[in-house]
């Protein structure tokens, strides 16, 4: 049986090749595709994966919940069963099997498959997208991060440089936590809920948001890396500067670290 991949947005029909256009295939019969079937693409190993990259991406699914597990669900949409990876936070908010469920979707394209990641809210999906924008963090670790704490806890940990909290999540080491803080500290502020903003505001007014050692270490390390120093050398001098005690501030630790690097 001959079939092709039909790109609804760009009008590209492929049957063994991604270079053929619709008008060059007069005998090709194309059927109208219901909305529910958009994205249900049959994979032909003889067709270049570039066809996937130009195909419409699934952004939302609504259907009957057939089954659910802590990190995945199967959703029946118009008779098609979609297996969707979810974080534990979304799992907790799901209704029982048989209920109608709506999920925000991120479609991840691989060379041999399309993977769907689902979220109960648009904010959770947006936070996931920002997490996987960080170097070294893919969709799998992004789901693990959102499963390890709520969206507000994740945002608060990043904004307050709470490396100790972030490294409690399986698969997140100190370097990964530092990258999360350095790259997302300002970017996740817009995703804070009103409750989190009030909590952070109260903590700041009470003086409980004074920079921790982890926060200072992260800030000084970031400054040294931006100055062009190697991470291994920077980490050693920052640790040595902190061990000296005395005035503990970002400025003083940075000055001590630079003096030590000058002697190397």
pLDDT at 201: 54
Architecture of the structural domain at 122-204: Orthogonal Bundle (1.10)
Integer CA distances (angstroms), 143 to 40, 58, 133, 201, 209, in order:
23, 18, 13, 29, 28
Q: Which of 76-85, 138-147, 214-223 has the lowest mean pLDDT?
A: 214-223
- Can you tell me the distance from the alpha carbon of 75 to that of 70, in angstroms, rounded to the nearest whole number? 14
Cβ–Cβ < 8 Å for 56, 39: yes
- Can you tell me the distance from the alpha carbon of 256 to that of 242, in angstroms, rounded to the nearest whole number? 9
Q: Which of 83-92, 108-117, 217-226, 242-251 has the lowest mean pLDDT?
A: 242-251
Q: Which of 77-81, 118-122, 135-139, 203-207 has the lowest mean pLDDT?
A: 203-207
The pTM assigned to this predicted structure is 0.59
Per-residue pLDDT tens over the stretch 44-77? 444 444 544 555 688 999 999 999 988 999 999 9
Banded pLDDT at 264 (limits 50, 70, 90): low
Averaged pLDDT of the chain? 75
Element (H, E) at 234: helix 231-243
Banded pLDDT at 153 (limits 50, 70, 90): confident
Integer CA distances (angstroms), 189 to 44, 150, 210, in order:
43, 15, 18
Banded pLDDT at 164 (limits 50, 70, 90): confident
Integer CA distances (angstroms), 183 to 4, 11, 33, 167, 170, in order:
42, 38, 41, 16, 20
List, in order, residues 6 or more apart from 251 with CB less than 8 Å away: none
Q: Give ∠ CA 9-12-16 in degrees, rounded to 5.
A: 145
Q: Is the domain defined by 213-263 classed in CATH 1.10.8?
A: yes
Same fold, 60-119 and 213-263: no
Please determine, for residue 155, whether its predicted confidence score (pLDDT) is greater than 80.
yes
60-69 and 100-109 beta bridge pairing: antiparallel
pLDDT at 247: 65
Among 31, 6, 26, CA closest to 14:
6
Domain boundary assignment for the chain: 1-56, 60-119, 122-204, 213-263
Please determine, for residue 204, whether its predicted confidence score (pLDDT) is greater than 50.
no
Cβ–Cβ < 8 Å for 118, 60: no
Q: Which CATH superfamily is domain 60-119 in?
A: Nucleic acid-binding proteins (2.40.50.140)
Please determine, for residue 141, whether its predicted confidence score (pLDDT) is greater than 50.
yes
Per-residue pLDDT tens over the stretch 206-250? 444 445 666 677 777 877 777 778 888 888 888 888 888 766 677
């Amino acid at each position: 049986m001959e079939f092709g991949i039909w790109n609804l947005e760009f009008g590209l029909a492929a049957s063994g090749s991604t270079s053929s256009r619709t008008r060059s295939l007069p005998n090709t019969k194309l059927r109208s595709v219901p909305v529910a079937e958009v994205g249900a693409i049959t994979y032909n190993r003889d067709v270049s994966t570039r066809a996937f990259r130009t195909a419409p991406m699934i952004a939302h699914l609504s259907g009957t919940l057939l089954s659910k597990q802590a990190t995945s669900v199967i959703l029946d949409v118009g008779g098609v069963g979609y297996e969707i990876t979810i974080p534990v936070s979304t799992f907790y908010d799901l209704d029982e099997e048989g209920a109608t469920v709506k999920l925000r979707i991120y479609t991840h394209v691989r060379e041999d498959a399309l993977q769907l990641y689902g979220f109960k809210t648009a904010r959770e999906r947006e936070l996931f997208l920002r997490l996987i924008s960080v170097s070294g963090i893919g969709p799998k670790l992004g789901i693990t991060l959102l499963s390890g704490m709520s969206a507000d806890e994740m945002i608060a940990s990043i904004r307050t440089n709470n490396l100790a909290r972030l490294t409690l999540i399986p698969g997140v080491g100190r370097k990964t936590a530092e990258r999360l803080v350095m790259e997302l500290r300002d970017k996740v502020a817009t995703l804070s809920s009103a409750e989190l903003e009030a909590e952070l505001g109260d903590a700041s007014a009470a003086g409980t948001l004074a920079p921790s050692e982890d926060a200072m270490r992260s800030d000084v390390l970031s400054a040294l890396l931006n100055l062009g120093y190697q991470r291994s050398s920077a980490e050693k001098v920052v640790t040595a500067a902190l061990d000296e005690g005395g005035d503990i501030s970002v400025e003083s630790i940075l000055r001590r670290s630079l003096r030590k690097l000058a002697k190397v």
